[in-house]
Every structure is written in C-alpha cells, then in structure tokens.
Chains A and B, each alone.
Chain A
Amino acid sequence: MTLENLVNFLPALFDGLIVTLTLTLVSAFLGVILGLFLALGRLTKNKITEKACWLYIWVFRGTPLLMQIVFFYYALPLLDNRLSLPKWPAAFLALSLNAAAYFAEIFRGGILSIDKGQFEAATALGLSYAQTMRKIIIPQAYRRLIPPMSNEFIALSKDTSLVSAIGMTDLLYATTQISNNNMLPIIFIPSAILYLVLTTLFTFVFEKIEKKYSAYE
C-alpha cells in the first residue's frame, strides 16, 4: 500500500522541487551581483559608502532569514498598503538580499587574500585602483572564491525551504502538506532524497568549475 501511495505523490514533490530550484538559482544570481557591489563598497575609501555597505551586511547577516522572509511578505503591507508583495517577489527579495550579504563577505575576503605585493606592483606600473582591481586582483580572487561560494550556494538551496512559512509550495511545503493531509510522514524520506540529489548535483558542478579554474596554480 505504502509504495503505490508514495508514487502518486511524486509529481507533487517534483513540482515543489522546481520551485526550490528556481528560488535557489534566481536568488543566487541576484545575490552574487549585489554581493559584488557590496564587497567593493566595503573596500572603498569613501567612508559613507563603506559604512552603508557595512550596515547592510550587519543587518542581513544578523537577523534570521525566516524573519526576513516573513517581514517582506507579512510585515511590509502593514507599514503601507502599497508595499504588498505577492509570494514570489517577496521570497526572491528576502532570499537575494540575504544571500548578497553573505556573498559580499566571501568576495571581500577573497580580494583581501590576494598578496599586497600584487597591488604594489600594479601601482608601481602606474595602474589606477580601478584598473588594478579589474585586471589584477579580481581575476586572481575569483579563482579562490569557488569553494566558499559553492558552500553558500548549497546553504541557500536549503534555506529556500523557509518559504514554506509564507505558504509557498516549495519542496518542503509540498512534503509537509502531503504528510499532514494523508497521515504519511514517510514522504519525508523521498523528499530528503530529492534535496540530497539537488545539493549533490550542485556540489558536482562546483567541483568541475574549481578544477577548470586551477589551471595556472
């Protein structure tokens, strides 16, 4: 009885998986872009920009992601009716803004880890700060960033499960729904396997990327 029932529920799980995957990919993409700007902002000499970026990172890393998701969906409309966001934008917003804070620190760490002598050599040759960053520092930094980025990416893929708190049908929500409505807690096992497949796939892809970029070291 159990096995046949389980198979019936797989399509629902797969639908949830698509949602999870979409949330992960889009939020990671947006988070990386914003994170890069934040990292450069943290490294600039301009005090206002530096403090502003620091503040952003402090807030978004310092408060629970669950709270941020709930805030953007439930709390924003309470401040102003016009700020009411549907589930998807709210989820994307919360996940991206949160991921950006973590990516920013990863990028900043990567840039700072480049030997100071590289910067000095570039300066001695007459390159400006921007030119040095663009052609010397960042090209070296991003090769080092692959392991911590893959880490954050995989964490993000599991963090997406928090959107179930606002009733979005990601994989976790679909799983709990099936379990509750059908008294079938065993559904968590195939669900967990699907999460595992997803994260393993990501790990595999990042390992390939890492290998490709370690050409000159």
Chain B
Amino acid sequence: MENVNKSFGALNVLKNINLQISQGEVVSVIGPSGSGKSTLLRSLIQLEEITSGTILIENEVLIQKPVPPSKQPISQQKRAQILSKLGLVFQNFNLFPHMTSLENITEAPITVKKIPLAQAILTAESLLEKVGLPDKRNEYPARLSGGQKQRIAIARALAMNPKIMLFDEPTSALDPELVGEVLETILALAKEGMTMAIVTHEMNFAKKISNRIIFMDQGEIIEEAAPDEIFNKPKQERTKAFLQNFLK
C-alpha cells in the first residue's frame, strides 16, 4: 500500500523529490544540516507549502501544485481529513506550557474530534503508560526533563490516532543521557507496525529501526537503500563523505 508519493520541484530547498513510503515501513532521513530533511517532513504535514509537485497519502491527493485544469482544488474538509492521518513530533517538543501532561494529550482529541472528556482521559492515560510516564499526568511541562517532555509529545501526537508518524530530529535537543529513553519509545512504536519517517542524526538508531535509509544533501535525495547497504556499501561520493563523520 502506497502511503506517500511525492514529486517536488521546490526552489532551493527541495529539488525534485520523489519518495514513496509503504505502510508499516520505517524510513530514516539522514544528511548534513541544510539538506532539506526537516523541510521534507514539514512539507508532508503542510507546515511548509510546496512550490510544485504532488503529495498523496494513501492514494488520495493531499496537495497538487499546480492544480491540473480538469480538477478542483481539494476542499478544506477533505484536506483536514487527510492531514489527520499524519502526526508530527518536533525537535523542541512544543508542548503547551499552560497545560498539564494529561491536558496536553487530551486537548486535540477533545477540541478537534469532539471526543468526550472521560474517554479522552482514558486514552491519554493508556498512552502515558505506553511512553512510561503514568505518574506525570498532572505535571506541567516546566517540571519535566527534556526526555520526558518529548515522550509526552509523542503521546500527544499518538492521541489523534495517526497512520503515519513523523519525527523531526526528535532527540537533537536532548542531553545525551536522555536520548535513550526517547529512542526506546520510538522503537517500541515501530515494532507495533507504525509507518514512520524519522529525521535523525542518531546513526546507530537509524540503522536499528529503519527498513530504509534516505540520504539527502542540498535538497536532493542522493541515495536510498537498506541500512546495511547504505552504511557499509554507500554508492555515492557524497554519501561516503557524510558517513565519514560518523565512523567510530
């Protein structure tokens, strides 16, 4: 099943990106700073507007630029419905500071999906268990460590039942000793069969979790292959050069 098919011709930042991710697949996007990895993810969830190209989620057109003359641009409702299949976890968490952990997680289900409070709380509590923080339900983000905040952020995204989870450098803003707990949470999610796209610098993690690694540089996808291939037998020069930095 095809989850994402994307062909781009965005100026400067993303150049002719063609990418397909299948259901249940875990894809890691690696590359140097400024390569467009984050923009790729953000364009998927429409936080950035593409200049041209098409994005399809589960074979439905999310956005198509330019709109072909025969078609109508999709309605706001349809767009929102498709977007609800995506969830995003940010590098700097972006938790709502004026709400407790529980409230952070229940906010969107209640406001957007109109789920009754009691039900939302039940779901939130099971998600808190899942990310290993049931005792933090009534804490405000200011009282949480970075790793805890990120795990709450993951629970918050999961509360909306996405089909595809996007992670934009989920551990880049964390102290090294807190990175592990977040990676474990993400790994557990992958094992459950969630379709994921992860932008990361954690190479060992990427190797372990991914079905496929995508290497980007200067807005283009340079190489994509299974972790073994790309780490041990990179084909492109730029891939080799980049991976040099991570050799032990």
Q: Are A124 and B111 in contact, with the CB atoms below 8 A?
A: no
Shortest Cβ gap from B227 to chain A (Å): 27
Q: Are A124 and B87 in contact, with the CB atoms below 8 A?
A: yes
Shortest Cβ gap from A212 to chain B (Å): 14
Shortest Cβ gap from B38 to chain A (Å): 12
Interface flag for B247 (CB, 8 Å) = no
Q: Are B142 and A136 in contact, with the CB atoms below 8 A?
A: no
Q: How far is the CA of A131 from the CA of B140 in the complex (A)?
A: 21
Q: Are B90 and A139 in contact, with the CB atoms below 8 A?
A: no
Q: How far is the CA of A118 from the CA of B90 in the complex (A)?
A: 10
Interface flag for B128 (CB, 8 Å) = no
Q: How far is the CA of A127 from the CA of B99 in the complex (A)?
A: 16
Interface residues of A in 167-217 (CB under 8 A from B): 216-217
Interface residues of A in 122-179 (CB under 8 A from B): 122-128, 131, 135-136, 139-140, 143
Q: Are B112 and A124 in contact, with the CB atoms below 8 A?
A: no
Shortest Cβ gap from A148 to chain B (Å): 19
Shortest Cβ gap from B159 to chain A (Å): 8
Q: How far is the CA of A78 from the CA of B167 in the complex (A)?
A: 66
Q: How far is the CA of A140 from the CA of B141 in the complex (A)?
A: 14
**B94: which of A120, A140, A216, A217 is its contact (CB, 8 Å)?**
A120
Interface flag for A86 (CB, 8 Å) = no
- Encode B134-174 as 1/0 by CB contact (under 8 A) with A: 00000010100000000001001100100000000000000
Contacts of A217 in B (CB 8 A): 97, 142
Shortest Cβ gap from B170 to chain A (Å): 14
Q: How far is the CA of A115 from the CA of B112 in the complex (A)?
A: 22
Q: Are A126 and B96 in contact, with the CB atoms below 8 A?
A: no
Interface flag for B108 (CB, 8 Å) = yes
Interface flag for A121 (CB, 8 Å) = yes
Interface flag for A117 (CB, 8 Å) = yes
Could you count the A-B residue pairs with CB atoms below 8 Å apart for me: how many are there?
Answer: 59
Shortest Cβ gap from A184 to chain B (Å): 54
Contacts of A124 in B (CB 8 A): 45, 47, 86-88, 90, 157
Q: Are B90 and A120 in contact, with the CB atoms below 8 A?
A: yes
Interface flag for B1 (CB, 8 Å) = no
Instruction: Write the chain B residue with the least CB distance to A131.
Output: B111
Shortest Cβ gap from A120 to chain B (Å): 6
| A interface: dominant SS | helix
Kindly state the interface size class of chain A when it binds its partner: 20 to 34
**B107: which of A123, A135, A140, A216 is its contact (CB, 8 Å)?**
A135
Q: Are A135 and B111 in contact, with the CB atoms below 8 A?
A: yes
- Encode A76-118 as 1/0 by CB contact (under 8 A) with B: 0000000000000000000000000000000000000001011
Contacts of A120 in B (CB 8 A): 47, 90, 94
Q: Are A125 and B108 in contact, with the CB atoms below 8 A?
A: yes
Contacts of B142 in A (CB 8 A): 216-217
Interface flag for B179 (CB, 8 Å) = no
- Could you say which of B47, B94, B113, B142 has the most chain A C-beta atoms within 10 Å of its C-beta? B94
- Encode B7-30 as 1/0 by CB contact (under 8 A) with A: 000000000000000000000000
Q: Are B160 and A125 in contact, with the CB atoms below 8 A?
A: yes
- For this complex, 27 residue pairs linking A to B, each with C-beta atoms less than 8 Å apart, are A117-B92, A118-B94, A120-B47, A120-B90, A120-B94, A121-B94, A121-B96, A122-B108, A124-B45, A124-B47, A124-B86, A125-B87, A125-B107, A125-B108, A125-B112, A125-B156, A125-B157, A125-B160, A126-B80, A127-B111, A128-B112, A136-B107, A140-B96, A140-B97, A140-B98, A143-B98, A217-B142
Interface residue ranges, A against B (CB under 8 Å):
115, 117-118, 120-128, 131, 135-136, 139-140, 143, 216-217
